[in-house]
Amino acid sequence: MSVRVQTQDFDAGAEIAALRRSDPRIGAVASFIGVVRDVNDGDSVREMTLEHYPGMTERALEQIVAEAKSRWDIIDVLVVHRVGRLAPADQIVLVVVTGAHRGEAFAACEFVMDYLKTRAPFWKKEATTEGARWVEARAADDQAAERWEQ
């Protein structure tokens, strides 16, 4: 299991290759990449700044990954999340889950993202054509996380 918080960009192909390397048990790799959109709530986004809570962020991500591993029969999980200043089309987050079969890998990947969106201490501030603003949490994200409780 690996969790990283960093300012620099990531190479998803290289990360996946490293995670798969010499593990012949792996039959499925599911991955998700989150990207900065150029429009949010109707305004053009020029730039975004991601703030986090150093220490707690890594701890929260590790707990989410541990929870995913206890719920699904998967082999490994990688989470890379960027912080600092980002521009539209920049990559924000990468989640990769490896497993023997696709069903468990798909589900675990979605679960990690849903929990990350509601439990990991990151905050986005957007610079838009209408000025700077903190992004508000969305009810849809809470609902997405809650469906895993059922």
Partner 1 sequence: MDQSEAVKGAATAGVTTVTVLFFARLREVLGCEHERVSLPPGPQTVAALRDHLRARGGPWEAELGARKAVRVAVNQDMADAGTPLIDGDEVAFFPPVTGG
Q: Kindly tell me which residue out of 17, 38, 39, 55 binds partner 1, with binding defined by CB under 8 A.
A: 55
Binding segment for partner 1 (CB under 8 A), chosen from 13-21, 66-74, 97-105, 132-140, is 132-140
Binding of partner 1 by 69 (CB under 8 A): no
For partner 1, how many residues bind (rule: CB under 8 A)?
A: 26
Binding of partner 1 by 33 (CB under 8 A): no
Give DSSP secondary structure letters for the chain: -EEEEESS---HHHHHHHHHTT-TT--EEEEEEEE--SEETTEEEEEEEEEE-TTHHHHHHHHHHHHHHHHS-EEEEEEEEE-EEE-TT-EEEEEEEEESSHHHHHHHHHHHHHHHHHHS-EEEEEEETTEEEEPPP-HHHHHHHHGGG-
Closest CB to partner 1 among 26 and 40? Answer: 40
List contacts with partner 1 (CB under 8 A): 34, 50-53, 55-56, 59, 81, 92-93, 113, 116-125, 134-137
